[in-house]
Structure 1
Amino acid sequence: MGRGSPIPPMLRRKIVEQYQKGVSQRKIAKSLKLSSSTVHNIIQRFRESGTISVRKGQGRKTILDARDLRALRRHCITYRNATVMEITTWAQEYFQKTLSVNTIHRAIRRCRLKLYRSKKKPYLNMIQKRRRFLWAKAHLKWTVAKWKTVLWSDESKFEVLFGKLGRHVIWTKEDKDNPSCYQRSVQKPASLMVWGCMSACGMGSLHIWKGTINAERYIQVLEQHMLPSRRRLFQGRPCIFQHDNARPHTASITTSWLRRRRIRVLKEEGCSPDLSPIENIWRIIKRKMRQRRPKTVEQLEACIRQEWDNIPIPKLEQLVSSVPRRLQTVIKRREDATQW
């Protein structure tokens, strides 16, 4: 409970009930996540008056009333990217009151709001948004069964992680410059490029290399990994191959190779990772890499292959089945980025 917040009657009743059962005040405070002084005052009032009700006018009055909190909530929702300092400056001018940053921080929590780190999404200009909308509208009538015939493919970059795990460290004010409290970073960490493909039927082949890729090299990857994966996963059934609009994918020699092989291609619009389920697979594997923290490139490659093979079939079916909902969200949000 924040400072100055009234204790609900139900919570006061629980405190008295546990006290009557012989539970110590310290254990009561710990179990109900209250301060020992709060529990002591409630029990002391019950001893003296035999009641748990609070006398009228007891306790410090809040600086911001319910009407002020509604105005604060509207302002925070309208300006979601504002800092607490900026909100405090606005509140002082709007309410004509002396307010501190801590007071505004507590008031924001009373408004049932909380400060979170914003999700990172690619920037979309008006042309890209329009193309996303048209692509989503053109494929909106596809059923889940048809999306399960798509062989999704993509590349991703994995880096060897250095330093301690996480962004937070426990310290005192005097220890903030202690070397053990620093988070180390490397300017150019060792990395690997990974190409993979997947469908609702299972995981396809994985190809790992160092450096960049061009059209000739991409065609070799398709011959050595995409074609065997398509035969193994679909077993002769018709399927659609998907890749994004990267330069090696849209090169003339790549397009000619796909046409000669009579491979039907589903091209996605640029800056649309939220429409491809394989992007969720990369996210899962990168989260596993942050947990396992491989120290060398060899360990990184082994971990990637192991986690790639451990993706369960129900997870793949769930991701592929979510594609129609993703398209509906694109149309609903007027071509903007989705939550996926």
Structure 2
Amino acid sequence: MIGYEKSFSEWQCLSEAKMGRGSPIPKMLRRKIVEQYQKGITQQKIAKTLQLSSSTVHNIIRRFRESGTISVRKGQGRKPILDARDLRALKRHCATNRNATVKEITEWAQEYLQKPLSVNTIHRAIRRCQLKLYSAKKKPFLSKIHKLRRFHWTRDHVKWSVAKWKTVLWSDESRFKVLFGNVGHHVIWTKEDKDNPSCYQRSVQKHASLMVWGCMSACGMGSLHVWKGTINAEKYIQVLEQHVLPSRRHLFQGRPCIFQQDNARPHSASITTSWLRRRRIRVLKWPVCSPDLSPIENIWRIIKRKVQQRRPKTIEQLEACIRHEWESIPIAKLEKVVSSVPRRLLSVVRRRGDATQ
């Protein structure tokens, strides 16, 4: 029997490589099973040699004796609970209810299709429809008035050259948080770990955070200021005095420049406007709800991603990380994001004032 076992080595490899739980037996292997059965070899020996279960070998031989064929009959097995028509209805519903959760879609399908469906079944059916779950992009709410004002502003400035946009000193505020533990769901893999202190999910009442202000241009990064307490017009003027004037001198070396800021209340307050006028600082009029037009928003996203990778655990560590990443932004990146402003404006014009993609 040694020669017999060696002759089956290739079939052993085939059965191990190609067959998993629930997988059909390859046709060549089914044919070999029948051939050995016809030679008088017992089913138990065939199963042991091919490393198959006895029931698998028995079923293949029984099917051969009953029908005279080794082919697998079509139509066997449990039919899917959702047919092609149901899947088309499901796909239409997902297309018209883009923000619906899987649970909500399941409740609709149970009522509409009149079938006992679970959340897992609907989730698999959604994948069969070649649909995927994506995180929606965060965009500011834009009313009709907002869109109209954005459209008019971008239309008036869309012909500005890249060289002119490089004369702008961009400014903005952004909030950074100290993230405790993992962001998202916290899981453990064994029941014993639930009482292990190293596996606890530490909860906090509130994320510690910092509000920072900064300015930049295509020439380089300007000053960075960390706010203490609430922000009002008086404090904002102090920031302009301490950071905008030195940054303007450092980045533009006496060349004419334009100062950009959004329409936050401290920025548009009358005392702020008067201070800017007295200092003879030319201010770029900015449309409401338009962070997508400002290149400094891209810089904030880059810094936040890098700060999150460093995982600061205290406010002091957070501030140190922010300052380090702020000073590490290369000039090439600044030139790239500022050079993209004309394309952003053109996109808003084409979208009639709506948010850019």
CA separation in 2, counterparts of 1:329 and 1:75? 30
Return the letter of the residue paired with 1:48. R
Identify unmatched segments of 5+ residues in structure 1.
Answer: 1-18, 30-34
Matched residue SS, 2:169: strand
2:61 is matched with none
* Shift, 1:223, TM fit: 2.5
CA pair 83-264 structure 1, distance change in 2 beyond 3 A: same
Q: How big is each residue's C-alpha offset from its partner over 1:293-322, in whole Å with a ceiling of 9 and x where there is no partner?
A: 223332222111100011122222222222
Counterpart check, 1:186 vs 2:205 = yes
* Shift, 1:241, TM fit: 0.9
Does structure 2 conserve the Cα–Cα contact (< 8 Å) formed by 1:285 and 1:304? Answer: yes
Identify unmatched segments of 5+ residues in structure 2.
Answer: 1-8, 33-70
Larger Rg: 2
CA pair 49-131 structure 1, distance change in 2 beyond 3 A: farther
Does structure 2 conserve the Cα–Cα contact (< 8 Å) formed by 1:158 and 1:192? Answer: yes
Return the letter of the residue paired with 1:208. V
CA separation in 1, counterparts of 2:174 and 2:126? 39
Matched residue SS, 1:47: helix
CA pair 282-56 structure 1, distance change in 2 beyond 3 A: same
2:21 is matched with 37
Does structure 2 conserve the Cα–Cα contact (< 8 Å) formed by 1:193 and 1:212? Answer: no
| Correspondence for 1:109 among 117, 127, 141 | 127
**What RMSD in Å do the two structures reach over aligned CA positions?**
3.2
| Correspondence for 1:201 among 216, 219, 227 | 219
1:149 is matched with 167
CA pair 201-22 structure 1, distance change in 2 beyond 3 A: farther
Instruction: Summarize the alignment of residues 122-137 of structure 1 with structure 2, pairs less than 5 Å apart.
Output: 122-137=140-155
CA separation in 2, counterparts of 1:23 and 1:318? 56
Instruction: Summarize the alignment of residues 323-338 of structure 1 with structure 2, pairs less than 5 Å apart.
Output: 323-338=341-356
Return the letter of the residue paired with 1:250. S
| Correspondence for 1:309 among 313, 327, 330 | 327
Does structure 1 conserve the Cα–Cα contact (< 8 Å) formed by 2:215 and 2:223? Answer: yes
Counterpart check, 1:170 vs 2:187 = yes
CA separation in 2, counterparts of 1:54 and 1:320? 64
Return the letter of the residue paired with 1:321. S
CA separation in 2, counterparts of 1:22 and 1:308? 61
CA separation in 2, counterparts of 1:157 and 1:301? 11
CA separation in 2, counterparts of 1:109 and 1:97? 19
1:118 is matched with 136
CA pair 46-335 structure 1, distance change in 2 beyond 3 A: farther
Matched residue SS, 1:206: strand
Does structure 1 conserve the Cα–Cα contact (< 8 Å) formed by 2:291 and 2:297? Answer: yes
TM-score by length of 1: 0.78
Q: How big is each residue's C-alpha offset from its partner over 1:229-260, in whole Å with a ceiling of 9 and x where there is no partner?
A: 22222233322110011122112222122223
CA pair 124-177 structure 1, distance change in 2 beyond 3 A: farther
Aligned residues: 310
* Shift, 1:200, TM fit: 1.8
Does structure 1 conserve the Cα–Cα contact (< 8 Å) formed by 2:222 and 2:247? Answer: yes
CA separation in 2, counterparts of 1:82 and 1:173? 33
1:240 is matched with 258
2:55 is matched with none
1:6 is matched with none
1:227 is matched with 245
Return the letter of the residue paired with 1:184. S
| Correspondence for 1:82 among 100, 111, 116 | 100
CA separation in 2, counterparts of 1:94 and 1:294? 50
Return the letter of the residue paired with 1:37. R
Matched residue SS, 2:21: helix
Matched residue SS, 1:114: coil
TM-score by length of 2: 0.75
Moved more, 138-147 or 178-187: 178-187
CA pair 166-175 structure 1, distance change in 2 beyond 3 A: farther
Does structure 2 conserve the Cα–Cα contact (< 8 Å) formed by 1:274 and 1:337? Answer: yes
CA separation in 2, counterparts of 1:290 and 1:333? 33
Instruction: Summarize the alignment of residues 234-273 of structure 1 with structure 2, pairs less than 5 Å apart.
Output: 234-273=252-291
Matched residue SS, 1:36: coil
2:54 is matched with none
Seq. identity, % = 70
CA separation in 2, counterparts of 1:118 and 1:297? 30
CA pair 25-235 structure 1, distance change in 2 beyond 3 A: farther
Return the letter of the residue paired with 2:137. K
